[in-house]
Structure formats: C-alpha cells, structure tokens
Amino acid sequence: MQRLNYRVVIFAFAFLFGVVFSIPSLTQSESGKKITLGLDLQGGLHMLLGVKTQEAIKSRIKSIAGTIKYILDDNDIVYDDLSIQGDKITFKILDSDDLKKTQELLKKEIEGVTILNSGDEFSISLTPKEIQKTKLMAIDQAVDTIRNRLDQFGLAEPTVAKQGTDKILVEVPGIKTPADEQRIRELIARAAHLQMMAVDEDRAARVYNMSPQEAKKYGDVILPDVKDPNQKYLLKQIPILDGSMLTDAKVGFDRNNQPVINFKLNGEGAKIFGDFSGKSVGKRMAIVLDNKVYSAPVIRERIGGGSGQISGNFTINEANDVAIALRSGALLAPVYVMEKRSVGPSLGADSIKQSTIALVLGFVLVVIFMIIYYGMAGVIADTALIANLFLILAIMSLFGATLTLPGMAGIVLTVGMAVDANVIINERIRELLRSGASVSKAIEEGYKNAFTAIWDANVTTLISAVVLYVYGTGPIKGFALTMSIGILASMLTAILGTHGIYQMLLPKIKKERLNFWFGIKA
C-alpha cells in the first residue's frame, strides 16, 4: 500500500457502498431497502383498463331523472311521461300554473344541465362542459374505487394509477392461483350498482308478455331475478335511490345461516327510503344489484332508520367481495381490458433461475477470458466488473427500482459492455508499452487517450437507453434502467477505479514482467 490515491479511495468506497446496500436484496432480509421484483419475475397480474365513459353519462342522466322526480313529487307538481330519451330527460307538467315554479326549482336544484321547454313539455340535457366533467370524473372515480377495493381485499401492494388521460393501470403482485386471479378481476370489474326500484304493480302481471320496447314506453324496465333468470320483474325505470347514498355494507347471516349483506343509508337516503315506503305500503320494492333483482319484498309499513339487506344465493367469498365493492362505491362507468398480462408464480421463479444461470455463466466466462488475455490487468478489470455488479444492485435497491426479466438481460449485457472500457484502456496501454513508453507513462497516456472514445461511446448508448426508458412500457423500462445504471456505474468502476488501482500498484509493476502484468512480451 504505497501510493494511496483519491481514485482508489473513491473506488473502495463505491465497492463498499455497493456491497453494503445490495446485501438486503441478495439475502432477501426483512429489513433494509430491496429491489422489487417485476410482475414477470414474482408473478402477478398487470392490466391496462379502459373506461366506458359513455355509460357514466347515461347513469348521470338517470340519476338526474331521479332527482327531478323527487323534486316534482316533493313540491306537489303534477307531471306525466317522465322518461329518458337518448341523452335527454323529458316530461310534461299537467298544470300550466306550475311552469314558472318548475323552471325555478330545476334551475336551483340541478347543476350542469340545459333546461328547454316548449309550453308544458320539458327537455333536459347535460351541457357539453358537464359531459366532459362527467367523463373525467368517471375515470378518476374508477381509479379511486378500484384502488379502494383492492386495498380492502387485503393484497400486498397493489398499484392502481391513471395512465395517460383515459387508461387505468392495475398491477397486483403475488397472486397464487388462476382462480384467485379471476376473483380479483371480478372484484375490479364489478359495477356494484345498487338500486332500489319500485315494482310497476299496475302492469306487473303482464311482464312475461311485454317487450323491452313496450316497457320503456311506460317508463319501465324488465330485469331478471338473480337466482332464476327466467323470472322477470317489471320495474319503474327511474330508481327510488341508488348506492351513492350508501354508508356501509357488511356481511351477515340470515336465519338460515346464509350469507347476506346488510347495508346502511345516509340521512338523505334514509329520508327518501322512509318517504317512499310510507307512501307505498302493500306494494313491492325490488333491491337491484348490477341489473339483477336480488329480492322484491312487499312493503308492510314505513321503513325508517335507513338500513336494508341484500340476500341472494351468495357464497361467503362472493358476499365478501360484493360488500367490499358496495363499500368502496359503484363504478360510475364500466371498465374493460385493453391489455392484460398475468404470470404465474412458478413461471416467474423459473425465469429468475434461468436468467441467473445465464448471468453467472456469462460473468464467469468474461472474468476468465479477461485474466487469460490480460493477466493482472484482467484481474484489475474483473475487480471493477464485480464492483459494477454490486453497484447496480445497490443503486436499484436504494431507489426501490423494479427488476424485470429484460432487466436481468440488461445486467447480463452490461457485464459484456462494462469490460469494454477496460479492453479499450488495456489495448491503449499495450500499444504505448510496445512503442517503448515507460510503465507509468503508458498507464497515464493510455487512460487519457482512451477516455474520449469511452465517453462518446457510453453517451450514445445512454441516449438510446434513455429513449427506451421514456418510450418503453413495463418490463422494457426495466431493461433500459439496468443498462443505464450499468453504464454510469462502469464510468466510476472501470475508468476511475482501475486507474486508481494501477497508480497504487505502479511501483511494483516492473518492465521485465509485462507478460504477467499486461499479458504482452516485454
């Protein structure tokens, strides 16, 4: 240890830094920052979802129709033919004296709509701005809702994020079986749209002879029973209230020990529910979830308190998932899959095994080759290479970066390229030695001459890696990342580090032993 120089000190620190911070990842210890394995290595589900925003508009219109109905009823305005025609709500008031009052009420109570009327006939539609807002809200709400559901499902670290303006990225690591995956997908996709709807008792008897078009004419819809799809109900199209007024939903058991879902409504919901049930004693009210009728009990008396029960033939898992979905709110608009990638845990494990074998083998090959070809200079280059590997792992661990299968390939490739700097330097040194330069001059000049080439070459490779990172998706990003880190780390280890080692060893390098030191005959 004659000449301790700043280069070798920095290199030693970098090496130590690399080893210390890659230990948690290598030993998979509990504490410390670790590299996250990508979904392709640990198994899991990756989905890019689209949102059918048009449906959000539809349901917004429906909900406005519900509000109009409530306002009109509440203010004793007599009306008829309240229905939804495409993207418009139309109705007719029967007493022209109510015209002004109706206009004022609607303007005051409902936002974001254009209210037109010719005489007593009203036509209400959403403003373009409101449509835009509703669409955006549908996407944001879907992100929140899905995140909420996955969090409540109790999985480790799911990712739900908006991507671009209209896509949702969902990543769920650590799924064990395809059946589990399907259950998670169903939970994500469930609309969880709860509605209380009045049965149209006047025409209910004719439900089996009625076409959907005819039902629509009466302002009704026909919905099937959840247990027996052949059993149909004729329901008023505009619901009494919906799941947006729900405050809680829990799994419980009924008298027969069947799982049921108990829910609670907020103050407003409870009032609407109470008012309706008070007026409708003797009639039936259907509890509808995602357009299926779960039950349609006859109202015996006014129901206060605002709680209710959904009973169907749930399994306990299903009841659990429905309750989660109800609690986290309905999806304003349904989602659909644009891209899906799922990897089973066993395949991920295989991928890790195979790429590790390739990495180790490639690494050993390069290490041996360098020693055979360059002698001690090869050993020094190998030291830098090892430091480089540790540094890549350490930097990735500290940033919590994700290691993917292409990322592993990136590391393998970096091994090949990182020694490149040392090959260039060693060749330069050899050249100078052959032309008779002294050892110290050959080393100093060699590093100086090699530097511009290494620098330019690395910068251009970095350019394509950065482009790849910006434009790549998922696993490919991992490849660009490991390669970029590898290139940057190699500047430190292969150029600075090895230079320092030479300077430290310089007094020992004798011109008579060039074959040992640099693999060339003196």
Q: Exactly one of 61, 366, 393, 442 binds another protein (CB under 8 A); which one?
A: 366
Residue choice 19, 110, 358, 506 for contact with another protein (CB under 8 A): 358
If the CB atoms of residues 316 and 337 are measured against another protein, the closer one turns out to be 337
The footprint of another protein on residues 182-201 (CB under 8 A) is: 182, 185-186, 188-190
If binding is defined by CB under 8 A, does position 406 make contact with another protein?
A: yes
Phi, psi at residue 437, to the nearest 5°?
-70, 155
Per-residue binder mask for another protein (CB under 8 A), 409-448, x = binder: x--xx-xxx-xx--xx--x--xx-----------------
Burial status of residue 310 (CB atoms within 10 A of its CB: 0-12, 13-18, 19 or more): buried
Looking at residue 206, what DSSP letter applies? G
Q: How far is the CB of 459 from another protein (least distance, A)?
A: 6
Q: Using CB under 8 A, pick the residue from 37, 48, 197, 235 that binds another protein.
A: 48
Residue closer to another protein by CB (options 129, 521) is 521
> Site residues for another protein, window 502-521 (CB under 8 A)?
519-521
Left (φ > 0), alpha (ψ -120 to 50) or beta: where does 181 sit?
alpha
Closest CB 404 distance from another protein, rounded Å: 10
Q: Which two tokens stand for residue 110?
A: 């409902």
Examine residue 138 and tell whether it contacts another protein (CB under 8 A): no
Shortest approach of another protein to residue 373 CB, angstroms? Answer: 5
Give yes or no for residue 336 binding another protein (CB under 8 A): yes
Nearest to 501 by CA among 422, 390, 420: 422
- Nearest distance from residue 260's CB to another protein, in Å? 22
223 versus 419: smaller Cβ distance to another protein = 419
Least distance (Å) between residue 103 CB and another protein: 43
| Minimum CB–partner distance for residue 323 and another protein (Å) | 17
- What is the spatial distance between Cα 330 and Cα 47, in angstroms, rounded to a whole number? 20
79 to 118, contacts with another protein by CB under 8 A?
A: none
Q: Is 479 in the site for another protein (CB under 8 A)?
A: yes
Task: Please pick, from the candidates 373, 440, 448, 516, the single residue that binds another protein as defined by CB under 8 A.
Answer: 373
Measured from the CB of residue 516, what is the shortest distance to another protein in angstroms? 12
Closer Cβ to another protein, 182 or 440, answer by number: 182
The residues in 314-333 that bind another protein, with binding defined as CB under 8 A, are none
Nearest-angstrom CA–CA distance, 294 and 489: 62
Query: Quick check: 342 binds another protein (CB under 8 A)?
Result: yes
Selected from 405, 439, 442, 481, the binder of another protein by CB under 8 A is: 405
Which of residues 9 and 360 has its CB atom nearest to another protein in the complex? 360
Footprint of another protein on 458-477 (CB under 8 A): 458-465, 467-468, 470-473, 475-476
Q: Which residue has the tokens 């230990």?
A: 23
Tokens 């609670």 sit on residue: 264
Helix axes 316-327, 178-189, angle to 10 degrees: 40
State yes or no: residue 172 binds another protein (CB under 8 A): no
Q: How far is CA 346 from each of CA 46, 151, 276, 439, rounded to the nearest angstrom?
A: 16, 25, 56, 54
User: Which residues, other chains included, contact 364 with Cβ-Cβ below 8 Å and sequence gap of 6+?
Assistant: none
Q: Smallest distance from the beta carbon of 471 to another protein, in angstroms?
A: 4
b/e burial code for range 337-362 (CB count within 10 A of at least 16 → b): eeeeebbebeebeebbeebeeebeee
Taking the least distance from each CB to another protein, the nearer of 148 and 461 is 461
| Contact present, 519 and 413 (Cβ < 8 Å) | no
How many residues make contact with another protein (CB under 8 A)? 82
Q: Which is nearer to another protein, 261 or 419 (CB)?
A: 419
Q: Is 337 in the site for another protein (CB under 8 A)?
A: yes
CB 338 within 8 A of CB 330: no
Cα separation, 479 vs 457, in Å, equals 19
Residue 311 neighbours by CB distance under 10 Å: 19
Helices (H) and strands (E) in the chain, counts: 16, 19
Residues with Cβ < 8 Å from 256, sequence gap 6 or more? none
HSE, CB side, 13 Å, CA atoms: give it for residue 131. Answer: 10
Q: Which residues contact 303 (CB under 8 A, 6 or more apart)?
A: 273, 274, 277
Determine, following the binding rule CB under 8 A, whether residue 47 of this chain makes contact with another protein: yes
Confirm or reject binding of residue 214 to another protein (CB under 8 A).
no
Question: Is 393 buried (19+), middle (13-18) or exposed (0-12) by CB count in 10 A?
Answer: buried
- C-beta closer to another protein: residue 398 or 453: 453
Q: Residue type at 162?
A: K
Stretch that binds another protein, among 12-20, 219-227, 389-397, 451-459 (CB under 8 A): 451-459
339 is a site residue for another protein (CB under 8 A): yes
Cβ-based nearer residue to another protein, 90 or 482: 482
Handedness of CA 338, 343, 471, 167 (dihedral sign): positive
